[in-house]
Amino acid sequence: MKNNVQYSKIIAGTMTWGNWGKSLGTEEMVRLMHHCLELGITTFDHADIYGDYTNEEQFGKAFSKSGIARNGIQLISKCGIQFHVPNRANRVKHYDYSSDYIVGSVERSLKILQTEYLDLLLLHRPSPLMRPQDIAEAVMALKKAGKIRQFGVSNFTPAQIALLETMVPVEANQVEFSLTQNSAMHNDMLLDALANKRMAMSWSPLGAYFRKKGEQQKRIKKVLAELTGKYGATDDQLLLAWIMRHPARVYPVVGTATPERLSLAARAVAMQMELQDWFLLLEASEGQEVP
């Protein structure tokens, strides 16, 4: 990455901590935060929309009671998506990247997360109407005020990033990347991160393996059955190790709120998958040899 902020290799995704998933109470969130820190997971990934705009506030209440030092964790959040929900005056789902909206969204996130700054702000998804000069104005103002330390994007193509970089540096990109959904390797998203020293993060790093049965899952499961004994690892650890083998040094954003699965994810960091095992899994995913 282009600067000195340090993030944990496994990032705790908070999307399912609230009412989009486990509906954890304050004390449960406090315990889960401490569990993450015990594992060396110090980075927490948010978005303003999670829980229909409620997750950040719930996390902030827990954080304020946790006794955890702010400089001991890193907070990431995203903005830009506007949902059609009862607590917002939106008539349709859309994106808003006006300077005022970005600044206002960050200030709201800071207030309810009960923090003075975000380590990293991401634009959640690209908008066909985004203007680089508006985004740059907001980002520069937020950085100058110390309200964000870094700026990046999520789900942006290299061309969209290049457009923004005519006005403002982009330091990270969070994209969908897994063994079952690996298009980021073929559409230059990961190559862009590698070439430009951008932080590459993967959302849904386990892909559809545990969610969708079919021929692809059967092929992958057969290979994983051979590798679990070799590496002394679980299926989910091998799927994470596969991602982290990529030279873009991808940071998986692990969305589970289950302590045991977070523990497994943390231990996957030390795994070194062999080259041919990596390609065996890719072949299983694609259903054919690499070209």
CATH for 65: 3.20.20.100
φ and ψ at 239, to 5 degrees? -65, -40
pLDDT-derived band at 4, boundaries 50, 70, 90: low
**What pLDDT does residue 3 have?**
52
Full domain range(s) for residue 19: 11-212+248-271
In a domain, 234, yes or no: no
Number of domains in the chain: 1
Does 288 map to a domain?
no
59-73 pLDDT, tens digit per residue, is 999 999 999 999 999
Single pTM value for the model: 0.96
List the structure tokens of 108: 């709201």
H/E run at residue 282 = helix 275-286
- Domain presence at residue 158: yes
Q: Is residue 286 part of a domain?
A: no
Mean pLDDT of the chain: 96
pLDDT digits (tens, 9 = 90+) for 250-283: 999 999 999 999 999 999 999 999 999 999 999 9
DSSP codes, 73-102: SEEEEEE-EE---TTS--SS-EE---HHHH
* pLDDT, mean of residues 227-232: 97
Question: Does 66 map to a domain?
Answer: yes
Least confident stretch, 79-88, 121-130, 216-225? 79-88
- 42 within domain boundaries: yes
- Helix-then-strand count for the chain, H and E: 11, 10
Confidence of residue 86 (pLDDT cuts 50, 70, 90): confident
* Catalytic residue IDs: 50
Asked if residue 132 belongs to a domain, the reply is: yes
Please check whether residue 217 lies inside any domain of the structure: no
